[in-house]
Chain A
Amino acid sequence: MSKIKILLVAVFCFSLASSAFSQAQISPERKRAIDSLAIEKIRDLSKYISIIGSKETPFSEANRVIERTLELFADDSQIGVSSLHRTEIQYYGVRPYLEHLMALNYDRVNISWYNIQYISDLELQPDGRYVGVITIYQRFEGQSDDGLTYKDTTKKDITVYVERKHTQIGGKLIGFWDVLLGDVRVTETTK
């Protein structure tokens, strides 16, 4: 019985090791495809944030986009919020952040992201995941009909996790790269 246990443990360890080994063997072309996929997810997030924040977005559509945005993030991820009027940065869960964004007290909100790039390349971790950091600049403009205007530019660092997963679709085993976003940290806030 104990021999069977040892054998099972050995098989398990071997499968883990071979899985990690096979992921480590990724060609530069595949790696580039994964890098590009992660950047694309950040661009998607940028579009979603812009839609949710915009006052022109119908309520039902904004709520739908919030659900899509949540699917981009790993559980328990946090998003930092800064202001030119205070020094500290407040961190919110993703849903509260998005709901707050949707309910901002302006009549017009325009949010755009630019200079999206890696500041830390995706690196293979011992647990088999790739982890990297992508930085973005966010330009926020909020205007009220009474003339109140707030504008700032924040630099944010977003942790990205990429993991190889498998799923069964139509009887076929599909290997896919699951990109999940982690914390969004504010590193700079300027006018």
Chain B
Amino acid sequence: MKKNLFRVGVIIFSFIMFSLSFSGCKSKQKIAQDQSESAYAQKIEQAKRDLLAIINDQGSMNLDEKEYRLNAIKQEYFQDQEVKDLIARADDALTVLRDEQDAKTREESEKQQQYVFHKSILDGFNAVASANSFSQANLHIAQALKLYASGDIPVLIIISQENGVKDYDRPTTIKKYLEYLKDVKKFDKGIESFMLDNNGKITEIELIKK
């Protein structure tokens, strides 16, 4: 009898222990799940903050950094609708920024090209005007003409301008103008403007009396 009671007691104790351990495991899972959900929520909040920072940034981040952070967020594949909307807005903002940066780069490249041409044109004119002989001047003319689409491109010389109206000297061609510099041995004009064709050759040049 005593033996039976002992067995029943062991069984009941085991059952209680099993129940206790099972419920403990269950609560651990719950904690883990809660922790996971909380971490995900935090990640979403961080993503939103990052996206807003990208959208509203006033210059503290450069474009590469913004693109890196946006791509990192995209790779998380968040299903949160607000995050998705913010990603779309950030994409738009970066497109605008990229276009602005491309335009700026193009503008700087054009400025640089203009500067190089400007200097080459002036160097060509000065070289011809300061040549010591006709043969030397002719070599400089041949060299200078390489900048132009042809020897016949027009050269316009502004002699005065007033209220937006420009007064010119009689138009000439670049070949004649270079020969003129060879003859008078003096170049005293500035470059007002010039136009380039698709081959990077000058098709029209406007000079101005200094």
Cβ contact of B167, chosen from A65, A167, A175, cutoff 8 A? A175
Select the stretch in B62-70, B71-79, B114-122, B153-161 that faces chain A: B153-161
Query: Interface extent on B, as a size class?
Result: 20 to 34
C-alpha spacing A55/B159, complex, angstroms: 34
Q: In the complex the two chains form, is B176's CB within 8 Å of A36's CB?
A: no
Residues of A within 8 A of B167 (CB): 30, 33-34, 175-177
The contact string, 1 if C-beta is below 8 Å from chain B, for chain A 25-37, is 0010110111011
Is residue B190 within 8 Å, beta carbon to beta carbon, of the partner chain? Answer: no
A144-179: which have CB < 8 Å to B?
Answer: 165, 167, 169-170, 174-179
C-alpha spacing A132/B154, complex, angstroms: 29
Q: In the complex the two chains form, is A170's CB within 8 Å of B154's CB?
A: yes
Residues of B within 8 A of A33 (CB): 159-160, 167, 209
Q: In the complex the two chains form, is A30's CB within 8 Å of B180's CB?
A: no
State how many angstroms separate the Cβ of A96 from the closest Cβ of chain B.
Answer: 21
C-alpha spacing A145/B106, complex, angstroms: 65
State how many angstroms separate the Cβ of A168 from the closest Cβ of chain B.
Answer: 10
Cβ contact of A37, chosen from B162, B169, B176, cutoff 8 A? B169
Is residue B187 within 8 Å, beta carbon to beta carbon, of the partner chain? Answer: no
The contact string, 1 if C-beta is below 8 Å from chain B, for chain A 62-93, is 00110010000000000000000000000000
Is residue B91 within 8 Å, beta carbon to beta carbon, of the partner chain? Answer: no
Looking across the interface, which residue of chain B has its beta carbon closest to that of A46? B184
Q: In the complex the two chains form, is A169's CB within 8 Å of B156's CB?
A: yes
Cβ contact of A68, chosen from B156, B162, B176, cutoff 8 A? B176
Given contacts A61-B134, A177-B167, contact A48 B159 (CB under 8 A): no
C-alpha spacing A148/B112, complex, angstroms: 60
Q: In the complex the two chains form, is A47's CB within 8 Å of B170's CB?
A: no
B156-210: which have CB < 8 Å to A?
Answer: 156, 159-160, 162, 165-171, 176, 179-180, 183-185, 195, 203-204, 209
State how many angstroms separate the Cβ of B204 from the closest Cβ of chain A.
Answer: 6
C-alpha spacing A176/B134, complex, angstroms: 30
Q: In the complex the two chains form, is B154's CB within 8 Å of A169's CB?
A: yes
State how many angstroms separate the Cβ of B129 from the closest Cβ of chain A.
Answer: 12
State how many angstroms separate the Cβ of B17 from the closest Cβ of chain A.
Answer: 100
Q: In the complex the two chains form, is B134's CB within 8 Å of A57's CB?
A: yes
Residues of A within 8 A of B165 (CB): 175
C-alpha spacing A167/B172, complex, angstroms: 12
Is residue A51 within 8 Å, beta carbon to beta carbon, of the partner chain? Answer: yes
The contact string, 1 if C-beta is below 8 Å from chain A, for chain B 95-138, is 00000000000000000000000000000000000000010000
Cβ contact of A58, chosen from B134, B170, B184, cutoff 8 A? B134
Instruction: List 12 other contacts, CB 8 Å, given A36-B209, A47-B183, A174-B168.
Output: A29-B160, A33-B159, A36-B159, A44-B183, A47-B185, A57-B134, A58-B134, A175-B165, A176-B167, A176-B169, A176-B170, A177-B167
**Can you give 21 contacting A-B residue pairs, CB < 8 Å?**
A30-B160, A30-B167, A32-B160, A33-B167, A34-B167, A36-B159, A44-B180, A44-B183, A48-B183, A51-B183, A64-B179, A68-B183, A174-B168, A174-B171, A175-B165, A175-B167, A177-B167, A177-B168, A177-B169, A179-B169, A179-B170
- Interface, chain A (partner B; CB < 8 A): 27, 29-30, 32-34, 36-37, 43-44, 47-48, 51, 57-58, 61, 64-65, 68, 165, 167, 169-170, 174-179
